[in-house]
Structure 1
Amino acid sequence: MDARNFLFCSLDAALVGDLAWHVHQEGHDVKYYIEAEGDREIGDGFVPKTDDWRAEVEWADVVVFDDIWVGSDVGTGQLARELREHGKAVVGGTPNTDRLEDDRGYAMEILEQHGVTTIEHHIFENFDAGIQHVKEHPAPYVVKPLGEVQNVKRLLYVGNEDDGSDVVDVLKAYKKAWGHRMKGFQLQRKVEGVEVAVCGFFDGEAFIDQVNFNFEHKKLFPGNIGPSTGEMGTSMFWAGQNKLFQETLGKLEDWLAEEGYVGSIDINCIVNENGIYPLEFTPRFGYPTIALQEESIESSTAAFFYDLAHGNDPELEVHNGYQVGVRVVLPPFPFDDERTYDENSRNAAVVFQTESREGIHLEDAKKVDGQWRAAGDNGMPIVVTGKGDTMHAAREQAYGRIDDIVMPNMYYRDDIGERWIDGDGDRLQAWGYLGPADS
């Protein structure tokens, strides 16, 4: 493909810098816009920047939005729709697909309307009403905040007590601490099983043939212990449109075509021998999922997204094995403490003990005089990936690469991918969800 012009837009936090860098490395012209003032140095030294994304729209052959948020408001889907109406090729959502993430009740309605089984769930705008519901219907529940505050990932709470008493305590605490910001929350019955996300790429009319299946690791510490984070690492593989896909995203294909959605859309599920139970949508790129997907794409990433945005029946060649990505972080992640960050992490050097940068992906990083450094305020400088014919081989490669990195005070989970090895993969196969379409 001839060199094309790609405009990447982060209208809230800077998230898509690694994809912009990857496309730039493939020889294409890139401009990257970051709205959040504290994030604007992210990507410096890696990709060209712009201070005015709207001024670059006519220049761009493809406009890429990285999230649904415009500051504290949902809004990139509306912007993407307006640009498409003016003839621009856009990777991004629509107002209704944005709503899938922002309004969990609406998301469940869309699933139910299209024949997808859902878990019992209830939306509350009042803490006392939610507490009363748990007392009247005692059970383990998952508490999921709604709206902008859902980005504070540690507020997601998974109940453990059969009588729901721990959920009641959590809701009382949230009422005191977060009542002024949390516009509502969803209570979802807890279901035991294998947690797996089904991720498809949609070109405005249909899903591409390859489907990505990934396994998130959201807790801070190994063994799934500690506070929830945005993500500490991901393991994944690609397959065909098997039963897991057909019973979830596959049923939404016509609806997404009516919307004109373009890009990655992910639905996280709990799966057991009795069925598939969707939990939540990610109608955008996942992070650091997209970095790991980039690592596993063996054809041109830029050509794929160009064709996806233009509805050109994109071709995608992917690694036929397993992939593991590990987020390497700095204090005080996942918390906000400016003093701790300034003293321990700001501008921290990322030192590589080898010349190779294979499998190294930037998140909150910049390059100054050839030296990689932590950037921004969040303490998530890099993601390190590996791949192999088995999940064990992918883990070995990823953690071997981490062993060649020196960064003061860095920490990471050392168990990404172990759940698959320890039985999740066998269970999914035994229950028949991967099936003969798996490739």
Structure 2
Amino acid sequence: MADKVLVIGSGAREHVIATTLLSGPGVDRVWCAPGNPGMEPDGISLLREDPTQPEKLIAAIRELGIDWVFVGPEAPLTAGLVDELQAAGIPAFGPSKAAARIEGSKGFAKDLMRRHGIPTADYAVFHDLDGAKSYVRSHGAPVVIKADGLAAGKGVTVATDLDQAMQALDAIFIDHKFGQAGAQVVIEDQLVGQECSLMCFVRGEQFWPMPLSQDHKPAYDGDRGPNTGGMGAYSPLPQFGPELTQKALDAIVAPTVRALAREGSPFTGVLYTGLMVTDQGPQVIEFNARLGDPETEVVLPALTSDLGTAIRTLMEGGEPQFTWDDSHSRLGVVLAAQGYPGNPKTGVPVPLIAPEQDLRAYYAGVSGSASTGLTSSSGRTALVVAQGDDLAQAAHRVYARLDGLSMPGLFYRHDIGHRGLEA
């Protein structure tokens, strides 16, 4: 009998998780909490319960007869939602609060890597402005300054000179730009190379890798402008062969999951490794304790096996099957509200794009309804992804569709996938 599943979250990542679950025989109904109205045309039910109130959520799960829960975003994971659900006897896919520290504290992750010889940039951790500024003055620029906690992908500054570094530290310690997430900072040496993302399903010391992907953080074409949560992504990466994935699995993923397990915080869920491919090989930029966004929207559609059955099997200790289509490319472009990432406009009309052959949209920061119209409620409103026989065809399909739409108040990058296309 097929399962009933609850996906926690409201973004395009959760939209693609839900549609992928529904596409296989292992799941016949999916709710998203809280979800968004752009999901409903795909047969996804919205559960308007707040994931930060586990007691109400658990009551709703029991009332609906939900079989298991997939926790999408980082905030409920680092707050310990998986622990609360499991304590209530509800199977939940995602890491425990202890294991999710690998994303919740960059200092924790860096210390773990240092202890276990996992390749990453040299770093120092500071709790005060004076100590951090003194270190930067003596060390020199460039440096990478990171708020230690969760900052929605925006807590990182690559400071190319001392003035920029000092301004970033002032924003964290004086302006409290990132709140409690900036109670301490990690200051790293800058790694030079090309970034990419490697996500793996994990259970303890076992892991099952997904295809490589690459996202685009800066807001504007040519990788200019402020960092965002991601303006688009593509997969696979023609510039990197399978040997890179294997090096990263051997030198980074395997020792990381082994370290977490042996230090008493075994990881079950999705481990996201942000990699910098340097002349010395792949090194870790960051870890996330969940699927990346927007990478998931171009990776999960490549899954040819049943996601629901695989996740249930993984949670129950069996041998899950994950198989991938390696004969097509997928490229996705984010539609963002003007002003994003600083002060995005709300109430901007967002087009409801019906699925076509080889093209579809996944929705995020929208309100309204599919029948009366969607409008922006936050910065990233949707991601439109196309499939092609190669990356150039996927890019042509998505941009031909977007360029044909009138979308005042929204903007998107026109060069997603440029590194892969250059390769």
177-186 vs 268-277, greater mean Cα deviation: 177-186
Query: 1:98-151 CA distances to partner (integer Å, 9 max, x unpaired)?
Result: 111121111012223333122111111111211111111213101111224x22
Q: Structure 1: any 5+ residue segments left out of the alignment?
A: 424-439
> Quick check: 1:359–1:398 contact (8 Å CA) kept in 2?
no
Question: CA contact under 8 A between 1:237 and 1:322: conserved in structure 2?
Answer: yes
Q: Secondary structure at the match of 2:412?
A: coil
Q: 1:287 aligns with which of 293, 298, 306?
A: 293
- Pick closer, same or farther for the CA change 1:412–1:82 going to 2, 3 Å: same
How far has the Cα of 1:341 moved from its partner?
2.1
> Residue 18 of structure 1 contacts residue 363 of structure 1 at CA under 8 Å; is this kept in 2?
no
Determine the structure 2 residue equivalent to 1:328: 335
1:233-275 deviations in whole A, cap 9, x for unaligned? 1122285851122111122233455644332211112222223
The reply on whether 1:247 has 2:251 as its aligned counterpart is yes
Q: Distance in 1 between matches of 2:116 and 2:109?
A: 11
Which SS does the other structure have where 1:248 is aligned?
Answer: helix
Which residue of structure 2 lines up, in the alignment, with residue 102 of structure 1?
A: 104
Alignment of 1:46-85 (within 5 A): 46=42, 47-50=44-47, 51=49, 52-58=56-62, 59-70=65-76, 74-75=78-79, 78-84=80-86
One-letter code aligned to 1:143: I
Q: CA 1:228/1:265 → structure 2, altered by over 3 Å: closer, same or farther?
A: same
Determine whether 1:89 maps to 2:95: no
**CA distance in 1: counterparts of 2:385 and 2:46, whole angstroms:** 26
| Counterpart residue number, 1:160 | 160
Distance (Å, rounded) in 2 between the aligned partners of 1:310 and 1:280: 29
Q: How does 1:190-339 map to 2 (within 5 A)?
A: 190-204=190-204, 206-208=206-208, 210-237=209-236, 242-256=246-260, 259-320=265-326, 321-336=328-343
Return the offset for 1:361: 1.7
**Structure 1 residues 92 and 350: CA distance shift in structure 2, 3 A:** same
Call closer, same or farther: CA 1:359–1:141 in 2, change over 3 Å.
same
Q: Is the 8 A contact 1:7 1:30 kept in 2?
A: yes
Quote the sequence identity (%). 20
Structure 2 CA distance for aligned equivalents of residues 381 and 178 of structure 1? 27
Return closer, same or farther for 1:126/1:227 CA change in 2, 3 Å cut-off. Answer: same
Show the counterpart of 1:426: none
Is 2:146 aligned against 1:144?
yes
Change (3 A) 1:44 1:332: farther
> Structure 1, residues 337-392: CA drift from partner, whole Å, max 9, x if none?
5xx424xx1xx1415488658332222346735465235x2142221112334332
**C-alpha contact (below 8 Å) 1:62/1:309 kept by paired residues:** no
State the Cα distance separating 1:22 from its structure 2 match: 4.0
- Between 131-140 and 364-373, the greater mean CA deviation after superposition: 364-373
Deviation at 1:25, TM superposition (A): 5.4
Asked whether the equivalents of residues 42 and 364 of structure 1 are also in contact (C-alpha less than 8 Å), the reply is: no
Q: Is the 8 A contact 1:16 1:66 kept in 2?
A: yes
User: Match of 1:382, SS?
Assistant: strand
1:20 — aligned with what? Answer: 18
CA contact (8 A) 2:366 2:375 kept: yes
Residue aligned with 1:136, SS: helix
Q: Residue 229 of structure 1: CA displacement?
A: 0.5
Moved more, 414-423 or 97-106: 414-423
Cα distance between partner residues in 1 of 2:255 and 2:249: 8
SS of corresponding position for 1:223: helix
CA offsets, 1:45-76, max 9 Å, x none? 55212334212444222211112314xx931x
2:121 to 113, 119, 137: 119
1:396 deviates by: 2.2
Partner of 1:422: 422
Give unpaired runs (5+ residues) of structure 2. Answer: 50-55
- In the TM superposition, residue 79 of structure 1 has moved relative to its aligned partner by 2.9
Q: Given the alignment of the two structures, is residue 184 of structure 1 paired with residue 190 of structure 2, yes or no?
A: no
Give 1:384's aligned residue.
Answer: 384
Q: CA deviation digits over 1:162-205, x for unaligned, max 9?
A: xx343123323444422782312111111211112221111455
Counterpart for residue 167 of structure 2: 169
Return the alpha-carbon distance in structure 2 between the equivalents of residues 308 and 288 of structure 1.
Answer: 24
Alpha carbons 1:352, 1:405 under 8 Å: kept: no
Distance 1:355 1:279 in 2: 36
Residue 204 to residue 53, structure 1, CA distance change in 2 (3 Å): farther
Pick closer, same or farther for the CA change 1:14–1:236 going to 2, 3 Å.
closer
TM-score under structure 1 normalisation? 0.81
Relative to structure 1, the CA distance from residue 180 to residue 257 in structure 2 (aligned partners, 3 Å threshold; closer, same or farther) is: closer
Native 8 Å contact 1:44 1:366 kept in 2: no
User: Could you tell me the TM-score, scaled by structure 2's length?
Assistant: 0.84
Confirm or deny: 8 A CA contact 1:44 1:367 kept in the other structure. Answer: no
Which residue in the other structure is 1:430 paired with? Answer: none
- Paired with 2:358 and 2:319, the residues of 1 have a C-alpha distance of 32
Root mean square deviation of aligned Cα: 2.9
C-alpha change, 1:363 and 1:14, in structure 2 (3 Å) is closer
Count residues with an aligned counterpart.
401
Deviates more, 1:319-328 or 1:189-198: 319-328
The verdict on how the C-alpha distance between 1:404 and 1:355 changes in structure 2, with shifts beyond 3 A counting, is farther
